[in-house]
Structure 1
Amino acid sequence: MAEPRRRRAATVEKVSRLLDATEELMLSEGYAAVSSRSVAARIDITAPLLHYYFPTIDDLFVAVLRRRAEQMLARTRAALSSPQPLRAWWELVSDPRGTGLIVEFVAAANHRPALRTEVGLVARELRRLQMEALASILGEYGLDPEDFPPALVAAAVQGLAFAVVADRAAGHDTAHEQAAAAMARLVARLEDRRERRPAE
Structure 2
Amino acid sequence: MHKHTLNKASQTTDKGYERAGAILAAARAMLAEQGFAALSMRGVAQQVGCSLSTLQHYFPSKDDLMAAVLTATFDNYQAAIDARLQAAPTAAKARFLAVIDYFLDDLRTPASSGLLLEIAALATRDPFAARVYDQMMTRARRTMRKLIIELKPGLAPDALELRAALVVAQLHGMMVFLAQGRPAHRELATLPAAARAAMLAIALD
Q: Do these two structures clear the TM 0.5 threshold for a shared fold by scoring above it?
A: yes
Residues 1:181 and 1:79: Cα distance change in structure 2 (over 3 Å): farther
1:19 touches 1:63 (CA, 8 Å); kept in 2? yes
Consecutive unaligned residues of structure 1, counting only runs of 5 or more, are: 140-144, 192-200
Q: Does 1:14 align with 2:14?
A: no
Aligned structure 1 segments of 4 or more residues deviating by more than 4 angstroms: 177-180, 188-191
2:59 is aligned to: 54
Q: Which has the higher contact order (CA 8 A, sep 6+)?
A: 2
2:97 touches 2:196 (CA, 8 Å); kept in 1? yes
Q: Does 1:98 align with 2:108?
A: no
2:141 touches 2:168 (CA, 8 Å); kept in 1? yes
| TM-score, with length taken from structure 1 | 0.72
| 1:48-91 alpha-carbon deviations (Å, 9 max, x no partner) | 32122112212111211222211211222344562323442233
Q: What percentage of residue pairs aligned between the two structures are identical? A: 24
**2:54 is matched by which residue type in structure 1?**
L
Consecutive unaligned residues of structure 2, counting only runs of 5 or more, are: 1-7, 154-158, 201-205
1:111 is aligned to: 125
1:70 is aligned to: 75
2:136 is aligned to: 122
Cα RMSD of the aligned pairs, angstroms, is 3.0
Q: Matches of 1:124 and 1:186 in 2, distance apart?
A: 21
Residues 1:38 and 1:184: Cα distance change in structure 2 (over 3 Å): same
1:160 is aligned to: 173
Q: Matches of 2:124 and 2:96 in 1, distance apart?
A: 31
Corresponding pairs, count? 177
Q: Which has the larger radius of gyration?
A: 1
| TM-score, with length taken from structure 2 | 0.70
2:122 touches 2:129 (CA, 8 Å); kept in 1? yes
